[in-house]
Structure formats: structure tokens, C-alpha cells
Amino acid sequence: MKRATLALVFTLGIVGAAFAHNGATGFIPTIPDPNAMVIDGNDDDWGWIDPDFVIGPEQWFDALGELAGSGFNPAPDDWSGLLQYAWSPPPDNSLYLFARVVDDTLRAGESENKRNWWNDDSLEFNLDMDHSGGPMSWVSTEETRNGYRISVSPLFDSQLGATIGIDFQEPGLEDWGALPPHTFSAATLLPADANHLSTDVEYTYELKVASPFVSYDILGPEASTPHIFEPDQTIHLMTIMQDGDRAANGQQGIWTTEGGVGRADNGDLLTDYIITATVDLDNYPDVATSVESDTWGRIKSHINQ
């Protein structure tokens, strides 16, 4: 895996927009061929994505940590991130995520304890697929139906997989949606032998959520409602990165993207993302290498609303 240079120009990954709940709107492109995607933590199957859909380091800020209030990308030698999303129509009907982080120090003291991944370097992916908003802090089963979150550790073991939420008293009961066949997750770490408090590390996350749920019930998929993707839908998403280098509590920094507030206990705090058709869906799957002019027209139309 090649080490990426995290110095991208400003993109349309997230832009300001008045109609978004938290003041920002993003656009999610279409996977040209889901059969070509391998969830292994590497980005060699993401070469098709247009750079304008990549959320680069200049769009990340520390929401609730030591560098809060310092603006975007305030200390790239400490922490720097890259994020990209994609979607696929039925029958694959999935949401994809790839992220890369360059970090001066890896915190992984809780890697074997899924319930404490929030206290380590980790990724928290928050989803409100019907854009309805409302509380989703996971203190009641009703709130899980408003939205849910998937957490991944860069040191995750294939038998641990990902985790959903940390607030229920029944450890593991709610995690079914973070595991195959509903979610496929992978992570990589450089250097490969890095562990707790290793310095100068790079790690990646890759997810395929197949399919996301409009209503998520901890009892299982039979009690839940899957989301069906169509172009021009607006959904709520937010990715939060924990950065904890030292001390007993690892939350030195909580990184998020423009519009984020470092917490996602209510769907109204998440960013609006518009499902954008960037390939010919009438002949899907169709390998595409650039964004068609009609796609940019649709994006501009959404921005101008």
C-alpha cells in the first residue's frame, strides 16, 4: 500500500449550504462497479473516484479537543485525515467509506474491548438514513430507530469486527448490524507492527454497509427497515475520528468535518449528503473515470436551492 500525501486542494466533498441542518452539504458519488470493490482497508479499488468528492485535510477540525477553536487542519504533524464515501443502487444497495489517517501517536490501549473503542484512536460513522433527525444517543431502543453508529478500531481483529453503540446494558446484542452480512469492515496499519503509543503511524478504515437501515432495531434485521438508494435522496451522515495520544482518557482530540460538532447524539447535528448519480444507471454497472457534465449540473442545482 502506498502512503498517501494528504495535501489536497479544496473540493466539493463538503460545501456550505443554507438548507443543511448543520450548515454543510456533501455529495456522494456512485460506485462504478461494486463487484470490483474489495473491503480490505486498501484504496487500490478507489482509483475511479473524482478528487472533487474527496474530503481532504483542509476540511477537518478538532471539535472538542486540545486544538478546538484553532480552525481547519491546525496541526497536520499531529493528526491529518482523508475521507471518501460512495453508494451503489440495488441490488448491491450499499454505502461505502474509505478513510486514511496520519497520526503522530497511536492510542490503542482498548483495542480488545469493543465497548471502549471511543477512548482510543477510532472511527465513528453515524447514519440517519431517512434524514428525519431526532435523538440518537442510544439510551433507548426508540432512539436507535432514529439513527445508529458504527465504530471501528485501526487495530481491530477480524473476529471482533466493528461495533454499534456503547450505551446498552446487553453487550454485543446490538452489534449485529456492524457485522457481516450487513457491514464489512477492514483496517490497515503502518508500520504493521505498530501498537499502543507507537509514533508516526498511518492507518486506514474501509467499510461497506449493505444496506444501511432507516430504522435499526437491536433485536435484528427482521425488526429493522433497510434503506433503498435512489439518486437525489438526502441523508444524514457524520464521521468522527477520535485521537487520543496520552493520559488515562484518550480523547485528546475529536476530529470531524465542516458542519460537524464532534458529537452525534441527534440526527439534526449530522451533515446533509445528497446521493448523486455519477454513472449511467440505465446501464449499471458502468466503469466511469470522470464526472459527467449533467452530474455537475445536478450538484449546482442542489447548492443553489
Tens-digit pLDDT profile for residues 29-41? 999 999 999 999 9
- The verdict on residue 7 lying in a domain is no
CA distances (Å), 127 to each of 6, 131, 149, 262, in order? 26, 9, 6, 14
* 248, pLDDT greater than 90: no
DSSP H/E element including 271: strand 271-275
- The verdict on residue 8 lying in a domain is no
Instruction: Say how far apart CA 218 and CA 182 lie, in whole Å.
Output: 13
User: Are 265 and 151 in contact, with CB atoms under 8 Å apart?
Assistant: no
Q: Name the least confident of 103-107, 215-219, 250-254, 301-305.
A: 301-305
- The verdict on residue 9 lying in a domain is no
- The verdict on residue 2 lying in a domain is no
196-222 residue pLDDT tens? 889 999 999 999 999 999 998 888 899
Predicted pLDDT of residue 119: 85
47-60 residue pLDDT tens? 999 999 999 999 99
Predicted pLDDT of residue 295: 58
Cell of 207: 467499510
- The verdict on residue 1 lying in a domain is no
Rounded-to-5 percentages of helix, strand, coil across the chain: 15, 30, 55
- What residues form DSSP beta bridges with 239? 125
User: Are 164 and 303 in contact, with CB atoms under 8 Å apart?
Assistant: no
pLDDT band at 305 (very low <50, low <70, confident <90, very high): low
Q: Name the least confident of 59-63, 134-138, 187-191, 234-238.
A: 134-138
Residues 6+ apart with CB under 8 A from 137: 143, 167, 265, 266
User: Are 168 and 180 in contact, with CB atoms under 8 Å apart?
Assistant: no
Nearest 10 degrees: Cα torsion 67, 68, 72, 78? 20
Instruction: Say how far apart CA 59 and CA 73 lie, in whole Å.
Output: 7
Query: Among residues 111, 214, 224, which one has the least CA distance to residue 159?
Result: 111
pLDDT band at 126 (very low <50, low <70, confident <90, very high): very high
Beta strand residue intervals within 20-78, DSSP E: 24-28, 60-62
Average pLDDT over residues 62-76: 91
Percent of the chain with pLDDT over 70: 79
Predicted pLDDT of residue 300: 47
Q: Name the least confident of 9-13, 141-145, 179-183, 184-188.
A: 9-13
- The verdict on residue 49 lying in a domain is yes
Predicted pLDDT of residue 19: 44
Cell of 245: 495520544
Q: How many residues does the chain have?
A: 305
Predicted pLDDT of residue 174: 77
| 234 vs 145, higher pLDDT | 234
Average pLDDT over residues 288-301: 53
Predicted pLDDT of residue 114: 83
Domain tally, the chain:
1
pLDDT band at 294 (very low <50, low <70, confident <90, very high): low
Q: Produce one character per residue of 160-199: b if its CB has 16 or more CB atoms within 10 Å, e if not.
A: bbbbbbbebeeeeebbbbbbeebbbbbbbbeeeebeeeee
- The verdict on residue 6 lying in a domain is no
| 175 vs 98, higher pLDDT | 98
* 4, pLDDT greater than 90: no
The pTM of the full predicted model, rounded to 2 decimals, is: 0.87
User: Are 22 and 266 in contact, with CB atoms under 8 Å apart?
Assistant: no
User: Are 256 and 140 in contact, with CB atoms under 8 Å apart?
Assistant: no
Residue 69's domain is classified under what CATH number?
Answer: 2.60.40.1190
Q: Which domain holds residue 194?
A: 14-304
Predicted pLDDT of residue 302: 52
- The verdict on residue 136 lying in a domain is yes
Instruction: Say how far apart CA 125 and CA 142 lie, in whole Å.
Output: 19
